[in-house]
Amino acid sequence: MARAVKNPPKTEEKPKKRPAARSKRKQTEADVFSLDIGTRTVVGIVSHYENDKFTVKYSVSVPHTKRAMTDGQIEDIDAVAKVAAEVKAELEKQSGIRLKDVAIAAAGRALKTCRATAEIDVEDRDTITEDMVKSFELEAVSKAQTELDRSGETEAAAFYCVGHTVISYHLDGYPIKSLVGHKGKKVTVELIAAFLPGLVVESLYSVMDKVGLNVASLTLEPIAAMNVIIPPEVRLINIALADIGAGTSDIAVSQNGSIVAYAMATIAGDEITEEIIKKYLVDFDTAEEMKLSALKDTISYKDILGFEHTLTSEEFIGSLFPAAEQLAETIADNIVNANGSAPAAVFLVGGGSRIPNLAKMVAEKLGVPENRVAVGGNTFLKNVEISDEVLKGPEYVTPIGIGVTSTLQKGYDFSVVTVNDKRLRVFDTRKLTVLDLLMMAGYKSHHIIGRSGRSITFTLNGEKQTVRGTPALPSELTVNGSPSSIEAAVTQGDVICLKPAENGVNAQLSISDIAGDLTVKHISVDEIDYTVGTEVFVNGESVSGDYVVQNFDKVEVSSVSTLGDLLKRLGISPEKLEFFRNGASVSVNTLLEDGDSFTVRDKKPSPTVTPKIPEKLPEPPVFEEDDEEDEPVPEVVVTRRKPEPPVFEEDEPVPEEKSAVECTVVRLNGKNVKLEPKSDGSSNIFLDLMAIADIDINAAPPSGNMILTINGKEAGYMDEVHTGDTIVIRWDDN
């Protein structure tokens, strides 16, 4: 495409007398510089915006010297930057302005869109301002980004939001055109956000960096075209706009006052060029020239073999019909998919819209009247003044729209901020804080604040207990090497470093931490063996020492660790007894150790006969059961340890026959038991029967009480027992 150069208005002073280097002035906010970096050309426009009036003053169009872009994507950054720098230099020469800030647009390659709704409570806020509305919209964009990430469509690459359009505002449930100046309780914003791969956006910014330009605004190409071809007051009509460039065809659809859908196709003008190359055996540049000459009466060209040819435009256009028809069908299909049906009208813009009969073919594919599809040009531009006839073509709609969008909607302004060595591009549609950037980088609140370890609450023997986790270690945050708060504002180029907080350690408690060592110990008392130690039950079930206590556990600890604990478990009162371990007197508070051997003696002697408690409790005699005929009592059989007591059938009468040395025969727990006379002649006592009562100390009832009676009366350990006595020694089950 030929370069279009617009000269500045004449002044009294001739330009040649004013050195360009010294005549350049700084760019002001009213000086709008926009660049449309297309697949085939780079178009630059300098406009002036004042009092809501947008005036296009200077323009330059420079084609790429080689195929540095494919389907709207920059492939060769240096080559594209070289052309963009040429456009910038020519515009500076024309305008006398030192250009620094630029508005750009991205083609919809790999475009993703997402609808989102945000509800914001504004009851406690003052009158709604423009900045507040922007923040509401940004919150909805953030939700759209979250939804897009959750869908899994962006797993392969990072996607940037490059534009959004509001579908509707609601205030307290009522639709409203503008929120500014109103008060209410709840604002609802519904919008559609457009996302492009990071590669597309980053390559555009890399070109701008090389040219020395600061990106003041970024938008999507169909949004830019919509803003000048189909202004808001016209969007009540269901209209589709197709921006047909060389590499992509970008589509936007309006309905009910809003832009409601975007779409794109990687088929556009280059497909026609490639068809010309194949059909007429020419190189790319020759094919482009032939395509631009399609409306001339005749077309002359030279093929790659050096032969010259001439054909009529009718022949040429007819030969391109299959490729043009495929392009028209693709555009129509994408419009229907985005809109749900054929729209009421269609605008075609961009260099590709110049393809002969394309509008007619699109109308046929959509099934709408031919006069409902038009090629847009400067005659359709709204609120824009253009004096240069060169800019009347449809290829200039988008670059003009980029400038309009940067002034009316501000577009998206991306800044580069580094967070822990990760470069982030963020759009400056509102004041951003360090916290905003940390969240964008993927950090969560617990990375910044940290949380204390979780506590454990449980009951121990019926009493509530709480064990707390350790506190968190706070994060360390710096901006550009200096300590900072999360509320601090960030600017272009800031370097944020975050050493994340360390969460506290969760409380952890094992049964061994509560009850100590649960190892069992083996002891003996008057040569009777016992197994003692600590038992722990959690929620009614016995557990080991390595059990980890959980929230709301009910822990019960029962311990036999001293001699007194054992006596209590056995139901023995220690007041009248003395205890010895290895011959040395000990108290009931003596800790039990594995292998301990205790002996018991009575503190109070008998009033008539001084009882002598042997060092070992006597082994009970064992008799064979009586036969039907009376027989002499057999010899006593004694076992070494914990002998089983001899028993008789309950209904068998006690033998009245007496041996030379008289035995004591009693009724113990319903069975007859014979006790051997003591060698010292002393009487048998109740304590002698404790050794042979066969009591399981591990089966004690919750009360721990034991029934000890002689002939129905409560017995003492030193009470004498006589033949015929009825003895009861058992746990009290009640």
Position 199 scores a pLDDT of 80
Helix residue spans in 11-158 (DSSP H): 20-23, 77-95, 130-151
CA distance 486 to 448: 9
Give the range with max mean pLDDT: 290-294, 446-450, 624-628, 702-706: 290-294
- Render pLDDT for 22-72 as a digit per residue (tens, 0 to 9): 578 898 988 999 999 888 889 999 988 887 788 888 889 898 877 788 767
What sign results for the dihedral spanned by CA atoms 395, 399, 404, 405?
A: positive
- Render pLDDT for 217-265 as a digit per residue (tens, 0 to 9): 888 888 888 888 887 778 888 999 998 887 788 888 988 888 888 888 7
Q: Tell me which residue of 196, 356, 326, 343 sits closest to 264, measured CA to CA.
A: 196
Give yes or no for residue 362 having a pLDDT over 90. Answer: yes
Name the percent of the chain lying above pLDDT 70. Answer: 83
Length reported for the chain:
734
Q: DSSP 3-state assignment of 587?
A: coil
Cβ–Cβ under 8 Å, residues 238 and 346: no
Q: Return the residue matching tokens 């599809």.
A: 373
Kindly state the tokens that stand for 642. Answer: 């914990």
- Name the band, by pLDDT with cuts 50, 70 and 90, for residue 297: confident
Phi-psi region of 285 (alpha: psi -120 to 50; beta: other; left: phi over 0): alpha
The DSSP bridge pattern shows strands 373-375 and 597-602 to be: unpaired
Cβ–Cβ under 8 Å, residues 658 and 674: no
What's the helix, strand, coil split of the chain in %, to 5? 25, 30, 40
Q: Tell me which residue of 697, 585, 677 sits closest to 636, measured CA to CA.
A: 677
Q: How far is CA 330 from CA 250, 358, 558, in A?
A: 11, 12, 82
- Residue 381 carries which side chain, given as an amino acid letter? L
Position 309 scores a pLDDT of 92
If one compares 648 and 73, the residue with the highest pLDDT of the two is 73
- Residue 557 carries which side chain, given as an amino acid letter? V
CA distance 144 to 138: 10
CA distance 67 to 75: 8
The DSSP bridge pattern shows strands 671-675 and 664-668 to be: antiparallel
DSSP state of 368: S
If one compares 461 and 607, the residue with the highest pLDDT of the two is 461
DSSP state of 500: -
Q: Tell me which residue of 3, 168, 28 sits closest to 100, measured CA to CA.
A: 28
Q: DSSP 3-state assignment of 498?
A: strand
Give the range with max mean pLDDT: 147-156, 403-412, 668-677: 668-677
DSSP characters for 74-117?
ES-HHHHHHHHHHHHHHHHHHH-EE--EEEEEE--TT-EEEEEE
Q: DSSP 3-state assignment of 482?
A: strand
Q: DSSP 3-state assignment of 303?
A: coil
Cβ–Cβ under 8 Å, residues 142 and 258: no
CA distance 189 to 137: 7
Give yes or no for residue 12 having a pLDDT over 50. Answer: no
If one compares 105 and 670, the residue with the highest pLDDT of the two is 105
Please report how many Cα atoms fall inside a 13 Å half-sphere around the Cα of residue 523, on the Cβ side. 24
Q: Beta-strand (E) ranges in 280-331?
A: 298-302, 308-312
Question: Who contacts 321 (Cβ-Cβ below 8 Å, separation ≥6)?
Answer: none
Please report how many Cα atoms fall inside a 13 Å half-sphere around the Cα of residue 529, on the Cβ side. 10
Domains for the chain: give ranges and CATH numbers: 1-231+382-412 (3.30.420.40), 232-379 (3.30.420.40), 423-499 (no CATH), 509-604 (3.10.20.30), 619-734 (3.10.20)
Helix (H) / strand (E) element for 559: namely strand 554-559
Position 155 scores a pLDDT of 65
Cβ–Cβ under 8 Å, residues 405 and 259: no
CA distance 35 to 206: 14
Q: Tell me which residue of 303, 38, 61 sits closest to 290, measured CA to CA.
A: 303
Neighbour count for residue 405 (Cβ, 10 Å): 27
Q: Beta-strand (E) ranges in 622-715?
A: 664-668, 671-675, 706-710, 713-714
Cβ–Cβ under 8 Å, residues 600 and 586: no
Position 244 scores a pLDDT of 87
Phi then psi dihedrals of residue 424, to 5 deg:
-120, 140
β-sheet bridge partners, residue 97: 25
Give yes or no for residue 583 having a pLDDT over 90. Answer: no
Kindly state the tokens that stand for 561. Answer: 């660790």
Give the range with max mean pLDDT: 126-130, 326-330, 691-695, 717-721: 326-330
Q: Tell me which residue of 234, 582, 243 sits closest to 399, measured CA to CA.
A: 243
CA distance 197 to 568: 79
Position 292 scores a pLDDT of 78
CA distance 595 to 582: 11
Q: DSSP 3-state assignment of 264?
A: strand
Give yes or no for residue 382 having a pLDDT over 80. Answer: no
From the number of C-beta atoms within 10 Å of its C-beta (0-12, 13-18, 19+), residue 387 rates as exposed
Kindly state the tokens that stand for 5. Answer: 């150069």
Helix (H) / strand (E) element for 455: namely none
Cβ–Cβ under 8 Å, residues 140 and 114: no
Question: Who contacts 379 (Cβ-Cβ below 8 Å, separation ≥6)?
Answer: 392
Helix (H) / strand (E) element for 58: namely strand 53-63
Position 554 scores a pLDDT of 93
